[in-house]
Amino acid sequence: MHLFCRCGQSMTLSFRMLVFENMYQIDLVPILECEDCSYYELIPSIKQDVTRLLAELKEQSREGRVVFTSVNELASVLYDIYKSGQELLEVSSFNTFLVEKCEERINLLLDLYGYASRAGDADWMEEISFRLAALSSFVKKRQFLETK
């Protein structure tokens, strides 16, 4: 668990724009930041998604800014928590809180899915399934701050 910075201070949830090779900008990436020494690091469970997105951007030679919270459902839930000012919860309770918030989002997406299904909108259904899958796998693992 990466609860504390190498300087000994606790780290809090924050968001930041990451720029790779001066070309690819990924905005609103959730990070853990130390208030004391300005060191920050990517959240382990998000890291591979950022890496995958960057690889996709490179493949498509898509320069410019991509908003991570609009393509990553977990980041989107984290951003809601952040905006509501609840990121300062104790880290020990944060994981449980995050899982609850993810479950709320899953229920919302399931409602949307039903709606899309009744409307017979296959593209929309597919998009919702994709968003659901990412959250479901996270909720199953329940490991926000660990890499496995």
> Does the protein bind Zn ion through residue 32 (CB under 5 A)?
no
Decide whether 36 or 121 has the Cβ nearer to Zn ion.
Answer: 36
> Does the protein bind Zn ion through residue 36 (CB under 5 A)?
yes
Decide whether 22 or 38 has the Cβ nearer to Zn ion.
Answer: 38
Number of residues lying near Zn ion (CB under 5 A): 7
Q: What's the closest the beta carbon of residue 45 comes to Zn ion, in angstroms?
A: 21
Q: What's the closest the beta carbon of residue 36 comes to Zn ion, in angstroms?
A: 5
**Which residues contact residue 51 at a Cβ distance below 8 angstroms, ignoring those fewer than 6 apart?**
none
CA dist list (Å): 23 to 48, 57, 108, 147: 19, 10, 35, 28
Q: Which of 5, 50, 116, 128 lies at the binding interface for Zn ion (CB under 5 A)? A: 5
Decide whether 53 or 145 has the Cβ nearer to Zn ion.
Answer: 145
Stretch that binds Zn ion, among 12-20, 34-42, 85-93, 130-138 (CB under 5 A): 34-42
> Does the protein bind Zn ion through residue 7 (CB under 5 A)?
yes
> Does the protein bind Zn ion through residue 40 (CB under 5 A)?
no
Stretch that binds Zn ion, among 31-39, 53-61, 70-78, 135-143 (CB under 5 A): 31-39
Q: From CA 72, how far away is CA 65, in angstroms rounded?
A: 15
| Footprint of Zn ion (CB under 5 A) | 5, 7, 9, 34, 36-37, 39
